[in-house]
Amino acid sequence: MEFDLTDEERAFQEAVRRFGDKVLRPNERRIDSEGRIPKEVLDEMARLGLLAMPVPTEYGGMGASAVLTEIAAEEIGRGDLSMATAVFFLLEAGWGWALSRHGTEDAKREILPPVCQGSTFLGIATTEPTGGSDLARMRTTSRRDGEGFTVRGEKAFLSGVEEARTMGGGHLTLTKSTDSDGFNFLYVPTSAPGNTTQRFQNMGRMGISTGAITYADTKVPARYLLGEEGRGFGYAVEGFTVARTFVSAACVGAAERALEVGLEYIRQRPAFGQPLGKFEGIQFEAVDLYTQIEAVKWQCRRAAWLLDRYTLRGDDSHRSEVAKAVAAVKLTAPPVAFETVKRVMMWFGAAGYTKDVGLELGLRGVMSYMVGAEGGLNVMRMILGRELLGKEFLPYS
Ligand SMILES: Cc1cc2nc3c(=O)[nH]c(=O)nc-3n(C[C@H](O)[C@H](O)[C@H](O)COP(=O)(O)OP(=O)(O)OC[C@H]3O[C@@H](n4cnc5c(N)ncnc54)[C@H](O)[C@@H]3O)c2cc1C
């Protein structure tokens, strides 16, 4: 077993950290206030190969391992504490990978290269206005129609609706098949005739939009179907397994950054005649946060390692082990990041409540993963419960 990074991985990590320090940090307030990631930031990400990293080189990606992608996600979460850039990054990585694994050759050649260049957007559409956790009860349908499919329904709380509309692109969309008992997973271009979009007003990660798409008999060509008809649910679950690992890594990066900021502050901020860091009430909190971040960081690295060993190779033989590792880290990482940012804000006292210190960006951003983005915490608990006790212990079985 090897815990150290290879020389190549370390060099890449350093390059992404430099990008975080030099490009993301100076832009994070602007990303938050302007409500978009500047084009020059996306261009630089593309230049470094950071967009849709696991996509094979023949489709424009770098064919990166999950471990390397996880390392990059951590650095991007550290660089832009608002999480907007991390969300953009991990959507392209996770769902770009899903498309490269299950998409038709024509779709991959058409959709993936511009995604990897940062000139179009690729997202995921599963959630509906009636709920996101109980996906099996979704209402959006796809009907076989001549050479393709007709999609009808509505998806909500989708990341990147505005980006896909303005830059071009679309979402991998999970739909109930009217021709079988199963689900179809289809790439639906956002600007397809029949679609209307709406942007929601979020409280955080303002640099990437969240919104809804209504599909009024939207025509989708057959080449945009992922894998086999009726088997889409499994492909979506697989994509979530990959994307959730990168979500967790981004949370680790945000937590590390917040703790660094906090340690620097408590080293010098005086109270009662000595630095705050000398008071064990504060020092021990810092130690506990460090310990939790380290634990979740290695939990995350192991999840990525399992993805490389099995999921990314299309090997389903360790499905339960992978599912548990990923659900456990997605259950742990957002609360650890949230708690770290919150505690450090409190060390700063009144200053922590200001935009000048900038930790509030992180609090608002990480909260998205507490309320539900990429699956709610209780859904992670349900996955773990199912794997530990068996399917018959699911409350609705
Ligand atoms: C900023 C942001 C971006 C998002 N981006 C996307 C996106 O790009 N694409 C997309 O498809 N979706 C996206 N989502 C939606 C996300 O996937 C959903 O929020 C999530 O799946 C939960 O669905 P819901 O919000 O409808 O909550 P519900 O399913 O209504 O659940 C509400 C609460 O109850 C809990 N709960 C649900 N069932 C149970 C149960 N059986 N036992 C105990 N607790 C339960 C949930 O964990 C949650 O806390 C995004 C959400 C946010 C906040």
The per-residue pLDDT for range 53-100, each reduced to its tens digit, is 999 999 999 999 999 999 999 999 999 999 999 999 999 999 999 999
365 alpha-carbon distance from chain centroid = 12
Residues 6 or more apart in contact with residue 371 via CB below 8 angstroms: none
What mean pLDDT is predicted for residues 337-361?
97
| Better-scored residue on pLDDT, 391 or 396 | 391
Rg (CA), the chain: 21
Tens of pLDDT, residue by residue over 310-332, are: 999 999 999 999 999 999 999 99
What mean pLDDT is predicted for residues 271-296?
98
Q: Is the CB of 232 under 6 A from ligand 1?
A: no
- Ligand 1 atom closest to Cα of 379? 47
- Ligand 1 atom closest to Cα of 127? 11
- Ligand 1 atom closest to Cα of 126? 11
Percent of the chain with pLDDT over 70: 100
Q: Which candidate, 383, 361, 380, places its Cα nearest to that of 372?
A: 380
Q: Helix or strand or coil: residue 394?
A: coil
β-strand partners of 141: 152, 176
Identify the pLDDT of residue 397.
Answer: 64
Q: Is the pLDDT score of 134 beyond 70?
A: yes
CB 60 within 8 A of CB 52: yes
DSSP states along 231-259: BHHHHHHHHHHHHHHHHHHHHHHHHHHHH
Q: Which helix (H) or strand (E) holds 122?
A: strand 121-125
First to last CA, the chain: 39
> How far apart are the CA of 53 and the centre of ligand 1, in A?
26
Q: Is the CB of 194 under 6 A from ligand 1?
A: no
Identify the pLDDT of residue 1.
Answer: 73
What the chain holds in terms of domains, given with CATH numbers, is 7-121 (1.10.540.10), 122-224 (2.40.110.10), 232-393 (1.20.140.10)
288: confidence class by pLDDT, cuts 50, 70, 90: very high
Tens of pLDDT, residue by residue over 363-382, are: 999 999 999 999 999 999 99
Q: Which residue has the tokens 């021990």?
A: 284
Residue identifier of the C-alpha nearest atom 36 of ligand 1: 378
- Ligand 1 atom closest to Cα of 134? 29
Percent of the chain with pLDDT over 90: 98
Q: Which residue has the tokens 């409280």?
A: 203
> How far apart are the CA of 150 and the centre of ligand 1, in A?
26
286: confidence class by pLDDT, cuts 50, 70, 90: very high
Q: Helix or strand or coil: residue 60?
A: coil
Q: Is the CB of 247 under 6 A from ligand 1?
A: no
Q: Is the CB of 365 under 6 A from ligand 1?
A: no
> How far apart are the CA of 4 and the centre of ligand 1, in A?
36
> How far apart are the CA of 83 and the centre of ligand 1, in A?
18
Q: What share of the chain is helix, strand, coil (3-state, %, to 5)?
A: 60, 15, 25
Q: Is the CB of 378 under 6 A from ligand 1?
A: yes
What mean pLDDT is predicted for residues 172-187?
97
Record the tokens describing residue 310, joined without a space. Answer: 């099995």
What is the pTM assigned to this prediction? Answer: 0.97
Identify the pLDDT of residue 396.
Answer: 75
* Cβ neighbours of 140 (radius 10 Å): 21
As a whole number of angstroms, the distance between CA 356 and CA 230 comes to 51
